[in-house]
């Protein structure tokens, strides 16, 4: 795999933006309401990916309550811990990393209140020397970094051989521009300034980024929205998609 650069991929203005949302991160009716609707959909994909990836491992707890027991998980761009806490409950020793200190403080406080032990850190994934994680996740993050190639390489460096990575991100399409940026932010469903459409990454671009880091991308699934189903996994990737990656070769 490619070596991660020590150059930071953090955009200071992005970290500051999300830091201002920290106090409401766990409020399902607050500024992160959309994330609370999105999280169960993402978790469904993550859980299925975990079960599939380690299904043949001796002693695997596939479809059990703690399939990540004995494994280490890293969530990069963890915010206030909406994914870290479920991963901990699935049995993993979890490290949560975020660029905003306000988010890390909110995440640590919430985990303590829930009786969960999670190693929260503030900083850049490429600068902290993180290694050997069985599971690396980074959901709705790559579109906010300054250098996607360096960022993906750093994620790959943190992943243990034979490990599993899960990424999700908005797709750069006309529909995502209309609905995720213009409609959602203007209506207040998503805080203003959250998305920058030109930074969205297509599945083909992400596949190339992962290949450059020595990682093989799985088949992406869309995260779509309809009035009848709300947010759900779909073959329609026009708005958002989620995908696995593994060490190739």
Instruction: Please state, for a pLDDT cut of 90, what percent of the chain lies above it.
Output: 67
Question: For residue 184, what pLDDT is reported?
Answer: 58
In the predicted model, is pLDDT for residue 32 greater than 90? Answer: no
Average pLDDT over residues 58-71: 83
pTM greater than 0.85:
yes
Please give the CATH topology (third level) of the domain spanning 12-168+203-220.
Rossmann fold (3.40.50)
Mean of the per-residue pLDDT values for the chain?
89
Structure tokens at 42: 């993402």
If you average pLDDT over residues 240-247, what whole number do you get? Answer: 96
Residue 204 above 70 pLDDT?
Answer: yes
Cβ neighbours of residue 10 closer than 8 Å, sequence gap 6 or more: 99, 124, 145, 146
Q: Which pLDDT does position 194 carry in this prediction?
A: 66
**CA end-to-end distance (rounded Å), the chain:** 10
Q: Return d(Cα 215, Cα 202) in angstroms, integer.
A: 17
CB–CB of 42/141 below 8 Å?
no
Higher-confidence position of 61 and 84: 84
Per-residue model confidence (pLDDT) at position 178: 84
Tell me, what's the pLDDT at 3?
42
Q: Do 222 and 233 form a contact (C-beta atoms < 8 A)?
A: yes
DSSP 122-157: ES-TTTTT---EEEEEEES-GGGSS-HHHHHHHHHH
Q: Residue for token digits 């004995």? A: 70
Would you say 114 and 32 are in contact if contact means Cβ atoms under 8 Å apart? no
Give the pLDDT band (50/70/90) at residue 179. confident
pLDDT above 80: residue 17: no
Domain ranges for the chain, please list them: 12-168+203-220
In tens, the pLDDT along 70-125 reads: 999 999 999 999 999 999 999 999 999 999 999 999 999 999 999 999 999 999 99
């Amino acid at each position: 795999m490619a070596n991660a650069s020590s150059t930071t991929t953090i955009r200071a203005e992005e970290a500051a933006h999300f830091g201002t949302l920290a106090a409401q991160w766990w409020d399902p009716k607050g500024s992160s309401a959309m994330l609370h609707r999105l999280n169960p959909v993402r978790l469904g994909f993550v859980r299925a990916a975990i079960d599939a990836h380690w299904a043949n491992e001796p002693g695997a707890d596939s479809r059990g309550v703690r399939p990540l027991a004995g494994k280490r998980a890293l969530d990069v761009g963890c915010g206030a811990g909406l994914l870290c806490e479920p991963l901990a409950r699935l049995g993993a020793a979890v490290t949560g990393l975020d660029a905003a200190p306000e988010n890390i403080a909110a995440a640590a406080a919430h985990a303590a209140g829930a009786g969960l032990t999670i190693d929260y850190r503030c900083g850049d994934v490429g600068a902290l020397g993180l290694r050997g994680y069985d599971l690396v996740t980074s959901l709705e993050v790559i579109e906010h970094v300054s250098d996607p190639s360096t960022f993906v390489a750093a994620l790959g460096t943190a992943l243990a051989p034979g490990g599993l990575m899960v990424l999700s991100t908005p797709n750069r399409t006309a529909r995502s521009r209309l609905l995720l940026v213009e409609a959602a932010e203007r209506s207040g469903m998503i805080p203003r300034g959250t998305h920058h459409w030109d930074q969205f990454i297509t599945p083909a671009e992400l596949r190339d980024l992962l290949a450059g880091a020595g990682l093989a991308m799985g088949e992406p699934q869309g995260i779509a929205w309809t009035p009848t189903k709300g947010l759900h996994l779909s073959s329609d990737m026009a708005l958002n998609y989620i995908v696995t990656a593994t060490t190739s070769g």
